[in-house]
Amino acid sequence: MGKGIRLLFLGMALGMVLEASAEKHRFMVFFADKADSPYSIDAPLEFLSQKALDRRNKSGQSVTEEDLPVNANYLDSLVKYNITPYYSSRWFNAALVEADSVDLESIVATSYILSYEYIAPGVRLNPVKEVTDVNFSPLEPSIISSNSQIQIEMLGVHTMHDQGYNGAGIHVAVFDGGFEAANQTAVFKDVFNNDRLIDRMDFTANSDNVFNYDDHGTNAMSCIVSNYKETLIGTGYGADISLYVTEDVSDNGNFEYRIEEYNWLLAAERADSVGVDIISSSLGYFDFNDDRMDYSYEEDADGLTSVITRAANLATERGILVVSSAGNEGRSTTWKYITMPSDSEHVIAVGAVNSLNEKLNFSSFGPTADGRVKPDVVALGSSVAVYHKNNTIGTSSGTSFSAPLITGLVAGMWQQFPELTNLEIKELLLEIGDHSNLPNNETGYGLPNYRRLINDSVLSVKAMFDESFTVFPNPFEGNYVLSSGRKRICQKGSTNETL
């Protein structure tokens, strides 16, 4: 994040704090550097897992200073100013704090503080992280309606499962507003009994208890890893899973502030550290309770600007595949477009269709502000079979459930082709869309189907990448060749060829 952007944020913060003096609120504090860090990019295992390093190596991304933890001395110094840090961001070199704006103004003059940004009113975080045990109760659910056969067969995932690919060995992180009752049902018996719940964190409260608040995340999770008597089968039911609460659903779901984007950033960094392969996010942002935080489609939906989109781009650079719901704004008269972070070039933005593969009118449109096709693909988004917190199997609708259906599909594909990078898996997904040669801004490259992948034979996948190359030094810019009238990502090669 550039200094100019930070100063802009600072200006916004100063305007806001005039209204908020003598009260504690939540802010991001941005540091000037990572000087005198006890960590080194030459010893990355001190702050990253081996799987995180392996994933970077596959995508050609080395560990940089951006990956180093925030200087602990800087964090400690905040306490002296009556500013309480809770989380730190390696990628933004920042800390999320609760503080009085008067105290914050006093630290801007210090050499190691660049600026601060107001991100939410009031305080909420537990002073000490709440640590809880996972108590699993495999209660048998009631079946209210539907089953998952339609949503699976639309993607050809039943064939993928028959081929032996169910996401096993792939680590998926789900970002949402809560996973209520996910630990109280036989729907997720395989996950809990086989120790496939790898990590969990509630960033809205500073707690590791994610099984409360809301079942929107539970619904989304069930689209991926449920495995119940052929009634509710997730598209990637064999995957490992981590659960992160980043959306604050307090105030009856009417709490919408920039902090939720920063929670997403913090969760992405944690997911990176523990070795997550895929982030599945059924969240999207463009407007907030404080309209000074709002984004403009024309100026901000360019894949580079919003906080959450920049976070998604940084996760992608580290080899993580990000799958995001495109948004349910299609009927809006003010913002019908995809929501952030789906505007990112690298994020798989997922729209919604009905069982006849017809676009649903609520599904958000593209293009991005800079003219790129979005969404990328679609999946079933009406009457999707999900698990509900009252221990029933029923249905829900929205791109929130289209996205995790695609997540499970790409988890199975990555299990089948582990040598491919995150962006190559995305490209492969686009290739098997039902109108991949004629993408549009309503349904992108269309409804993907695993059967197209195997009907074209595995050799076609190999051919896509065997003779490809990378333009160095940055593997995420400029490494495309034209194919079928659109961009195709290329695999790392051995030479510095240019077009």
| List 216, 280, 376, 397, catalytic entry | 216
Annotated catalytic residue, options 67, 176, 199, 248: 176
Active site residue 158: no
Among the listed residues 452, 440, 369, 400, the one whose alpha carbon sits nearest the alpha carbon of residue 155: 452
Known catalytic membership, residue 466 = no
Active-site annotation holds for 176: yes
Which position among 306, 342, 400, 468 bears the catalytic label? 400
Rounded Cα distance between 17 and 410, Å, is 44
User: Both ends of the chain: CA-CA distance in Å?
Assistant: 30
Active site residues: 176, 216, 400
